[in-house]
A = this chain, B = another copy of it.
Amino acid sequence: MQGIEEQPLVERHELRPAAEIGVGIVGYGTVGRAAAEILTNNAEEIRRRTDGVSIRVTRLCRRSPGVEETGVNGIKISSDWKDVVSAKDVDIVIEAMGGTGVAHDVVRSSILSGKAVVTANKALLAQFGEEIFSLADRAGVPVGIEASVGGGVPVIRVISEALAADRILAVYGIVNGTANFILTQMESHGVEFSEALQQAQTIGYAEADPGLDIDGLDARDKISILARLAFNSGVPPAHIPVTGIRSIKATDFHYAYRLDSTIRLVAAAERYGNNITISVRPWLVRRDSMLAKVDGANNAIFLVGESVGTQMLYGRGAGGGATGAAVLSDVVQIARHLGRDLVMPSGLSGFHQPEKLHLADHTRPVPWYLRLTIGDRPGILARIAEAIAREGINIDSVLQEPHMAKENLSFVVTLEPVPANVVERAARAINQFDFMLEPILVLPMISQAGGSHS
């Protein structure tokens, strides 16, 4: 190393002494409280990880303070969010109230006041993400959104940092723990949807109004955010086709079992050139796939990169601890910068300058599972087979559970690979038949955990 080691060490960056960073929390419910508690309990570890910057909760707000008057650090809980946003001892505002009303005001107002913002609010980001990031760009404040998708599963960071140099081909997975809990209850206990939903409500996984979870709307917001970051695209949530899990029956799990498969609610986005396909719907997945192994309220997100291949991230998708820790991962990253008066570059380019990508109306060909519930009489299979043949689709197999009542009989037809729009035309024709007692159930059959790209 002669000739180089002799050089004097270049002392380029004299860091300022670390300042203390104050955190204000708006929304002191499950997530807000967990974040406050973790931040307080792990203060020593965190200070080591920030290389000396202390982070302290200084303000708390809850819309209905109730009986409790103080939170962590003996802080008085305010009922007015403006007390938090305008406080001089708040550098970072955690928005943990949810919804797109007051939360929107809190985030805008925090940015306008020059505060960094960390939010777990997927609905807000899916709807107002571009506006929020454009405002934050102008104000030069960082916005952290790790907890908005996947709870404790760090998918935002992995897409925007770990895969920053790769071309991402697909992102898909299980992003709603409540729906996954319900499906795995149906799978392992053979119960019907309504019973599994009730169990989820009893445990506290599902709200009294469970629509956001079981109708796929929560998953839709999440895949909208993931597609933005993965493909730099701006697909509004309202343009994403969604099918929930209300129409899945216990019998579907019996048929799935015979096909060495089970059923999972999957949010998926894939890119082909300037086209993207994006959807939320139940999939029939092989029992030996990684997707099938995701049980209970867990999340699993697959990322397919041209260079890195298929990656999977797995973990708790919800709950105060997991989501609180994810919120704090952003708080720590921001504090590492703010505490030394360093500027933090944003890696979330999908929200800053989205491209206009074309939302494809067709998908790659996959095999399909059709479940039909009929009043049995002669000639039905012939008419169904004819409707399928008319679209040029080949039938792969016909399955029927034994000992079914004739008056309410379910059977399954599996199809060879065709694009979604082709099978949907056949499904519409079949739904016209008078012997159909309920709409046909149409599930894509995905054989590989890695999806089409692996």
Chain A residues at the B interface, C-beta cutoff of 8 Å: 1, 3-5, 7, 9-15, 34, 38-39, 42, 45-46, 48-51, 82, 85-86, 105, 108-109, 112-114, 135, 138-141, 146, 152-154, 157-158, 160-167, 232, 288, 290, 293, 305-316, 319, 321-322, 324-326, 328-329, 331-333, 336-337, 340, 342-347, 349, 352-353
User: Given A82-B3, A165-B328, A352-B51 in contact, is the A321-B309 Cβ separation under 8 Å?
Assistant: yes
Report Cα–Cα, A322/B353, bound state, in Å: 27
**What CA separation (Å) do A344 and B164 show in the bound complex?**
17
Q: For residue A131, give the distance in angstroms from its CB to the closest CB of chain B.
A: 13
> Across the interface, do A157 and B157 meet the contact criterion of CB distance under 8 Å?
yes
Interface pairs (15), CB distance under 8 Å? A1-B105, A12-B139, A39-B165, A153-B311, A154-B161, A161-B161, A161-B329, A162-B326, A164-B328, A164-B329, A293-B293, A307-B321, A308-B322, A314-B314, A342-B343
Asked, given contacts A15-B343, A312-B314, whether A109 binds B307 with beta carbons under 8 Å apart, the answer is no
Q: A85 contacts which chain B residues (CB < 8 A)?
A: 4
Contact A7 B113 (CB under 8 A): yes
- Give bound CA distance, A327 to B160, whole Å: 15
Among residues of B, the one whose C-beta sits closest to the C-beta of A322 is B308
A141 engages B12 (CB within 8 Å): yes
Residues of B within 8 Å of A15, CB to CB, are 140, 343
Q: A139-B10, A165-B332, A293-B293 are in contact. Are A324 and B307 (CB under 8 A)?
A: yes
Chain B residues near A51 (CB-CB < 8 A)? 345-346, 349, 352
Residues of chain B within 8 A (CB-CB) of A349 are 48-49, 51
- Chain B residues, Cβ within 8 Å of A322: 307-309
* Chain B residues whose C-beta falls within 8 Å of the C-beta of A157 in the assembled complex: 157-158, 161-162
- Complex partner residue of A325 from B165, B310, B319, CB under 8 angstroms: B165
**How long is the Cα–Cα vector from A86 to B4 in the complex, in angstroms?**
8
**Given the complex, which residues of B lie within 8 Å of A4, measured CB to CB?**
82, 85-86, 109, 112-113
Docked pose: A45 CA to B229 CA in angstroms = 12
Q: How far is the CA of A135 from the CA of B108 in the complex (A)?
A: 42
Residue of A140, A306, A311, A316 contacting most chain B CB atoms (<10 Å): A311
Question: Which A-B residue pairs are the 8 nearest by beta carbons?
Answer: A13-B140, A165-B328, A154-B162, A152-B308, A311-B315, A307-B321, A10-B114, A312-B314
In the complex, the answer to whether B325 meets A114 with C-beta atoms within 8 Å is no
A179 CB to closest chain B CB (Å) equals: 19
Further pairs besides A165-B331, A342-B342: 4, Cβ < 8 Å: A38-B166, A50-B345, A157-B157, A308-B321
Given that A152-B309, A158-B158 are contacting pairs, would A345 and B342 also be in contact in the complex, using a CB cutoff of 8 Å? yes
Q: Identify which of A45, A46, A135 gathers the most chain B CB atoms within 10 Å of its CB.
A: A45
CB distance from A57 to the nearest CB of B (A): 12
